[in-house]
Amino acid sequence: MLEAYTSRLGYVLDVSLPPAETVTVQTFPRPRDRRVDIEELDISMLSFLSLYGCELQVVVAERNSILGRVMTPLNELRYQLRFIDKANQCVSVLDNESLINKLRLAMQHKRENLAAYFWNAIWADEPMAALLTRSNGLYPIATNPKVSELSLQLDALIRLSEQLDTLSDEAVFDGLGEMQQSWIFNPVPGQLLNSASLLITQLNQGSEMMLQRLQSRPLCYQHKSNTQSERLKGLFFSVYIGRVQPYLAKTSQAGEQVFSRLQQLAMSQKTVMPDTFETYQRHAFAVEAEGSVWQQLNKAIQLHTERWQQLLTQCGMEPVAGQLRGRGL
């Protein structure tokens, strides 16, 4: 659709199609560039045996098992909250002051690192990589209900990220695994990035052709329409207003809806965000950051709109709210 639009625009304007300058979208960082390294605290075997009678002993034993050593980032987060909860209970029944102090230090350490564990649970695992992969083509023309579903999920995660300091029950993350599973089958964010890149390329290509015509011979003289301007008018209504603009609006709205939330979620953990990820999120998530995908798209839309206004005004047709107001037609 977009390639046909720019091709027809060049034909109507009688200008050559300039080379397309494809916008490069940064690749989602590798797992090692997304993961936050966290120093682990070890409880000595003697201290572990001293926990007999505390439920914390069961929690620590599970962590030290073969399966416990290969926990997913989400299960790692759940373990930390479970440890804090059971250690709190254990402190109230122990009579060993040295062990009580160790447990209090361990709880403090784990609570101070909850933001980092939460970061890894969201950003360092495969579901987020699947959500942001760009291997699933372009955003469809039809309205996609997965945008609203994902927005609600991200809103819930943002609320959780803002409550980490007060969380004490791992049950708050019970639905997170199911949520992440749904991301594997939701290609919307990656598709939106692909479509944003394509739109920027095609709109800028069209704007360049319109500028070529504006800087050469006039399309119309003395604001009077002619056969060529009538063809341009038909293209404006039937293709640009009728097909391109609705897709452009849907892509922009869905992009704002999804990526503003992804950015808010990432920035809520800014204190632990890896530097390599900071670069990516500014490029792919930020709506207003200089050089970001979405800022480039906004600029391309604005420039393309201005070029249409200049061309149509030259022929006595002034676009107003998606319509044309004729002068002397």
From 52-61, 273-282, 317-326, the region with the lowest mean pLDDT: 317-326
Lowest mean pLDDT among 159-168, 188-197, 317-326: 317-326
In the predicted model, is pLDDT for residue 324 greater than 60?
no
Position 319 scores a pLDDT of: 61
- Tens digits of residue pLDDT in 98-153: 888 888 988 999 999 999 999 999 999 999 999 999 999 999 998 788 999 999 99
Mean pLDDT, range 175-192, rounded to an integer: 95
Same domain (yes/no): 289, 218: yes
Examine residue 206 and state whether it is found in any structural domain, yes or no: yes
Same-domain status, 206 and 312? yes
Mean pLDDT of 20-34: 91
- pLDDT at position 66: 63
Residue 327 has pLDDT above 80, yes or no: no
pLDDT band at 325 (very low <50, low <70, confident <90, very high): very low
Kindly report which listed range (23-32, 135-144, 175-184, 310-319) carries the lowest average pLDDT score.
310-319
Q: Are residues 86 and 24 in the same domain?
A: no
On whether both 19 and 46 belong to a single domain, the answer is: no
Q: Output the average pLDDT for the chain.
A: 89
pLDDT value, residue 328: 30
Domain contains 154: no
Nearest CA to 324 among 240, 222, 249?
A: 240
The answer on pLDDT for 329 being more than 80 is no
Judge if 219 and 240 occupy the same domain. yes
Tell me if 120 is assigned to some domain. Answer: no
| Contacts of 53 by beta carbon, 8 Å cutoff, 6+ apart | 93
Task: Kindly state whether residues 8 and 84 are assigned to the same domain.
Answer: no
* Any domain includes 124: no
Residue with more model confidence, 56 or 136: 136
Domain boundary among 57, 77, 112: 112
Q: Which of 56, 80, 112 is the last residue of a domain?
A: 112
Closest among 142, 137, 136, 147 to 247, alpha carbons compared: 142
Q: Is the pLDDT of residue 45 over 80?
A: no
Mean pLDDT score, 2-29 = 93
CA proximity to 254, closest of 287, 277, 302: 287
Please check whether residue 143 lies inside any domain of the structure.
no
Say whether both 78 and 22 belong to one domain. no
| 242 and 284, same domain (yes or no) | yes
**Is there a domain that residue 182 lies in?**
no
SS3 120: helix
Residue 244 shares a structural domain with residue 310: yes
Mark 266-300 as b/e (b = at least 16 C-beta within 10 Å). bbbbeebbbeebeebbbbbbbbeeeebbbebbbeb
What's residue 21's pLDDT?
86
Distance (Å, rounded) from C-alpha 177 to C-alpha 148?
19
What pLDDT sits at residue 46? 53
pLDDT value at position 117? 95
Where among 78, 112, 146 does a domain terminate? 112
pLDDT of res. 67: 64
Predicted confidence band at 43 (pLDDT cuts at 50, 70, 90)? low
| Residue-level pLDDT at 322 | 45
Q: Which of 23-27, 135-139, 222-226 is modeled with the greatest confidence?
A: 135-139
Residues in contact with 224: Cβ distance below 8 Å, sequence separation at least 6, in sequence order: 315, 316, 328
Please count the residues of the chain. 329
Answer whether residue 321 is part of any domain: yes
Shared domain check, 88 and 17: no
pLDDT value for 251? 96
Q: Mean pLDDT over residues 17-36, rounded?
A: 91
The whole domain housing 13 covers 2-28+187-326
Domain count, the chain: 2
Whether residues 196 and 315 share a domain: the answer is yes
Q: Does residue 317 have a pLDDT over 60?
A: yes
- Output the pLDDT for position 152: 97
If you write DSSP's letter for every residue of 200-252 in order, what string do you get? Answer: HHHHHHHHHHHHHHHHSS-SSSTT---HHHHHHHHHIIIIIIIIIHHHHHHHH
For the chain, give percent helix, strand, coil, nearest 5. 65, 0, 30
pLDDT category at 176 given cuts 50, 70, 90 is very high
137, part of any domain: no
Whether 82 and 213 share a structural domain: no
